[in-house]
Each structure stands twice: as structure tokens, then as C-alpha cells.
Amino acid sequence: MADFLFAPHNPVTVPIARGGLFAVRRVFCVGRNYAEHAREMGNDERDPPFFFTKPADAVVVGGAAIPYPPKTGDFHHEIELVVAIGKDGSDIAAADALEHVYGYAAGLDMTRRDLQAEAKKAGRPWDMAKGFDLSAPIGTIEPAEAIGHPARGVIALEVNGAVRQTGDLGDQIWNVSETIAYLSQFVTLRAGDLIMTGTPAGVGAVARGDVLEGMIEGVGTVRTSII
């Protein structure tokens, strides 16, 4: 047994629908990937994608509640298709990209929108706006061998039963294959990496007591509540 100063951290895991656990390595997120959301944020929809990250231990599973985070007064939901990478690769060709996908889940890229706006204005990193504790609730991972590779289908989020966000996976500016191909030019993707693929229009603020229920047709659901 190595002489660790303290016990090594247990891996962060996401449950797999048919049993077993997916050990999370890193969480990559696409900055904007639906034209309508890009427009609502004041951006040109033709901009190439860019990436930011969340720490693996931002992931929250099992529908657990999350506390309203400190240092924000504008805590936003973003429903996203999450891609679970199952096979390592760099410089992956778009035509081969889906071979690297283990499965898919619904997830929430929870965002401190006020800190993000300040960071954008100052040209600063987004880490404290995006990569904070418990900022990535994720549902169960469905293996691609069970559900295929969903290219279209409704992606939606309800808050307290009222629809807030709705879109279609087919409206992604960069599809999953293109996103994997592009991201793998910058970093070597590894089994265990997750990619949150951007959110459709309708992002908005949540408050303590709100119940968030996201669904992606053909993939699954994600649920959390704000306490």
C-alpha cells in the first residue's frame, strides 16, 4: 500500500441503466451549440464551438437535491445531452467518432450566470461560473448499444412542472461526431470522459424549492431540486 497522506478519493461515478457504474474522468462542456440559445446569449450562431470544463466531482447523480450555491444571485439551468466516452482517442475522424461513445445521458450544466457575465466582460475564465461544486446533475447513462446514437429528438426541461427549455437534438450546430472530432484535436479523449453538448434556448434562473426535471427523447431524464 502506497504511503498516501490521506485516503485516495473514491472515483466519481454515474449509474449505467443496465447496471454497473461509469467512472468519471473529466467533464468537457460545449460553450454554445444550439442556434436559438446562441442568439439569446447575443452571439453569432456560426461561431466555431469552444470548450470549458467542470471538475469530475461537480457531478451529482440519483436525483439528489443541490443547495443554492454561494456567490450568485442568478443561478441558471441548462439541459444538455451528455456523451459518455468509452474508448480513448486523439485526432478522431468524425466518421469514426461514434465508436468512442459508450452511451448517453441527460444532464444539467448549472451556471452562475451573473459570474459568467462578469467573466465574459473582463475576458476572464469561466471556472467559477461553471465548474463549481455540484454544478453537473446527470441522469442514468444509457449504453449506445441499447439506444443507438440519438441524432434528433426532443430535449426539454421543466421547472415545477412548467416547460422552460425545449429544443431538438437535430438543431445542434455541431453534432456529437463533429464535437468529438474537434475536441480530440485539443486533448486526448479517455474512457470516462463526459461531454456536455450545449443547451437549447430558454435558459433561466431557479430558486430554492424549485424542482427541475429534464428529459431527452430516446435517452432519459435528469432530476434535481434546489434547496
Q: CB of 8: closest distance to Mn ion in angstroms? A: 30
User: According to the binding rule CB under 5 A, does residue 109 interact with Mn ion?
Assistant: yes
Show the 3-state SS of the chain. CCCCCCCCCCCCEEEECCCCEEECCCEEEECCCEHHHHHHCCCCCCCCCCEEEECHHHEECCCCCECCCCCCCCEEECEEEEEEECCCECCCCHHHHHHHEEEEEEEECCEEHHHHHHHHHHCCCCHHHHCCCCCEEECCEEEHHHHCCCCCCEEEEEECCEEEEEEEHHHECCCHHHHHHHHCCCCCECCCCEEECCCCCCCEECCCCCEEEEEECCCEEEEEEEC
Of 65-73, 136-144, 186-194, 198-206, which segment contacts Mn ion by CB under 5 A?
198-206
Q: Which residue, 135 or 199, has its beta carbon nearer to Mn ion? A: 199
**Least CB distance to Mn ion at residue 82 (A):** 11
Residues in contact with Mn ion, shown as a per-residue x/- string from 69 to 108 under the rule CB under 5 A: ---------x------------------------------
- Counting contacts by CB under 5 A, is residue 135 touching Mn ion? no
* Least distance to Mn ion, CB of residue 12, Å: 19
Which residues contact Mn ion (rule: CB under 5 A)? 78, 109, 199
